[in-house]
Chains A and B, each alone.
Chain A
Amino acid sequence: MIVLEKRPQPSQAWSMATPLIAVLATMFFGGLLFLTLGKNPIEAIRTIFYDPLFGEFAFYYRPQLLVKGAPLVLIAIGLSLGFKAGIWNIGAEGQYIMGAIVGAGIGLAFYPLEAWYILPLMVIGGAFGGWIWAMIPGILKVRFGTNEILVSLMLVYVAEQLLASMSLGLLKNPEGHGFPGSRNLNDYASTNGWIDQNVGMHWGVVAALIAVIFAYILLNRHMLGFHIRLTGDAPRAAKFAGVKPARLILFTLGMSGALAGLAGLFEASGPAGQITIDFSTGYGFTAIIVAFLGRLHPVGILLAGALMALTYIGGDIAQGSLGLPAAAIQVFQGMLLFFLLAFDLLTNFRIRLASGKVA
């Protein structure tokens, strides 16, 4: 009979190995899924994981890795701070939208002025938009004990409606011939978030890298980071150590909101270029997978973000060349989180074969 025996401490080795095992398992079962869809599984897996990096048109796809990876890493870093402390912000998609609306709104308010300070103001506005949206569940949780999972998620739907209203109304391009959507921010030097479009470099990529370093220092070298980890691992010990839960909740939620807002602003000023109804593409939800896949560790998240960006790009290629449905890649990403959680068992438990005796 198989028995599970709790490890005295989570295994470091397994903690590193489970994401890899989960990726391999996802490739295998994803391959089976593609087979049932009538596609050649090996070709599909190669198209998703190999072609964007080393295939014939890799020069075109490699920049995309930065474009898709930056928002995922930026959001996931913020989420991981909260997840570590057991504070579940799952409304990053809403904060992403609000950051974009506020940031782009500031940029559009200055039209047609060109000045060096517009983009920095937009960045501050983006962070503020996401922060304030995350503060709603934060303050409600601190003040009334409201469940932050449900409130942050409800606010995603509110933000989506607000986005629709904005792109059809307030922020609509007056010279857009009636089409919904704002002016294109890439057309004006002061609001353009690109650094070099040919290599996929925009300010969001820079922000994502800074966020990774910042989070690493915070978690490993700072008292607040220690309190975050302590609250997640041993809530009772944290209480005795004098950790103030309210402060921690507001900080982690605010931080994740601000980073998600930044991701939204950089997307709006860079790759998307404008505020439209279909601006939100689910980065906020995929970032949850990225955070877990990266083991809530900043460096891990960086790698996981790159991998997830790869599946987006590869998925796009497979759509075009193999006719793989867009939803298949979504299933693929969901599968990844599923296997990751399942194999995590090995980190916390030892599997033993025991004699069938009654204990």
Chain B
Amino acid sequence: MDLSAINPVLLVASLMVAATPILLAAIGELVVEKAGILNLGVEGMMIIGAICGFAVAVQTDSSTLGFLAAAIGGAVLSLLFVILTQVALANQVASGLALTLFGLGLSALLGQSFVGLKPPPTPELNIPFLSDIPVLGPILFSHDPVLYLGIAIVAGVWAALKFTRAGLILRAVGENHDAAHALGYKVIRIRIMAILFGGACAGLGGAYISLVRVPLWTEGMTAGVGWIALALVVFGSWKPWRVLLGAYLFGGVTVVQLNLQAAGVAIPVEYLAMSPYLITIVVLVILSKDKSSAPASLGRIFHASH
């Protein structure tokens, strides 16, 4: 065992990379849940994003196009969820599960010919002087653009929900859809847009795994990250900055356990690999006492009968 081989600066830098997929998916789901919709299909949308992004990036040799395709892919899959829950008024829990099962199958089918290929590299931002600062440089100023995009989306969602009229309407729809409907807001239309946004974010998160984090395509490679993202929204009590904090916490756990595996700690690999999931459960237990911040209409079916 050699713990001194673990470099704290690299640890923090890779923590941010590990956290980004969870962060992207979770911030998208936060917006969806703020609109009163519980979409359990995050895992499915992520894995579709992962393969769409990977396939397009390999074929066009451009990771930018890859990420774009991933966002579109995720949004298109979430359109299925829209049809089920907003048009056919199906149960949201069951529909989310359907989305995940369907997405996992479809991604495996689409990805057959991409196993073993290498995606084009995603360029890292290299700002002169700033990236060269000893400790802060590698941590803050030399990542890929998508990582910063994730943080920007968090800031954007926070500002939009807190300060804009659109954010207020979105929250109104999530808190009480009947009242929002009576006020003349298009409940269904607003929710559809929220779901599509969530799908696009989850797709980006998935592509971040297949294009930056791993970077490879293997079947079922999201390995529950989508579900952790769902837990994270609860963890963050539906507040964007707390979701960011939570994502970095989970990223930290993942990176530390990987580093411990590499350092050859006496704990078997399997038990270390369990830790992110176990910690998710512990965190859920600690935070689930306080349900007050959940949107009041979350998961309820809206049907304007009059």
Contacts and interface: CB of A to CB of B under 8 A. Distances in A.
Contacts of A146: 281, 284-285, 288
A190 interface: no
B223 A162 contact: no
A359 interface: yes
B274 interface: yes
Interface in A328-351: 328-335, 337-338, 341-345, 348-349
Interface of A: 4-6, 88, 90, 136, 140, 144-147, 149-151, 153-158, 161-162, 164-165, 168-169, 285, 288-289, 292, 325-335, 337-338, 341-345, 348-349, 359
B230 A335 contact: no
A359 B181 CA distance: 14
A157 to B, nearest CB: 5
Interface of B: 40, 80, 83-84, 87-91, 93-95, 97-98, 101-106, 108-109, 112, 219, 223-224, 227-228, 230-231, 234, 268, 270-271, 273-274, 277-278, 280-281, 284-285, 288-289, 291, 303, 305-306
A164 B105 contact: no
Given A149-B93, A157-B277, A342-B84, A164 B284 contact: no
B105 A359 contact: no
Nearest to B89: A345
Contact of A162 (B93, B108, B230, B270): B270
Contacts of A327: 105-106, 108-109, 112, 219
Contact of B227 (A145, A153, A162): A153
Nearest to A5: B305
B105 to A, nearest CB: 3
A80 to B, nearest CB: 12
Nearest to A146: B288
B281 A154 contact: yes
Contacts of B102: 331, 334-335, 337-338
A79 B106 CA distance: 25
Given A158-B278, A325-B112, 9 more contacts: A146-B281, A146-B288, A327-B106, A330-B104, A337-B94, A338-B102, A341-B90, A342-B90, A345-B88
Contacts of A6: 303, 305
A158 B95 contact: no
Contact of B106 (A4, A144, A147, A334): A334
Contact of A155 (B234, B271, B277): B277
Q: Which 6 A-B pairs have the closest CB atoms?
A: A330-B105, A334-B102, A327-B108, A165-B270, A331-B105, A327-B109
B201 to A, nearest CB: 19
Given A6-B305, A153-B227, A331-B109, A338 B281 contact: no
A337 B105 CA distance: 13
Nearest to A88: B93
Given A144-B289, A341-B90, A150 B280 contact: yes
B109 A288 contact: no
B112 A154 contact: no
A90 B288 contact: no
Nearest to B286: A144
A6 B227 CA distance: 33
A359 B88 contact: no
A147 B271 contact: no
Contacts of A349: 89
A187 to B, nearest CB: 27
A88 B299 CA distance: 13
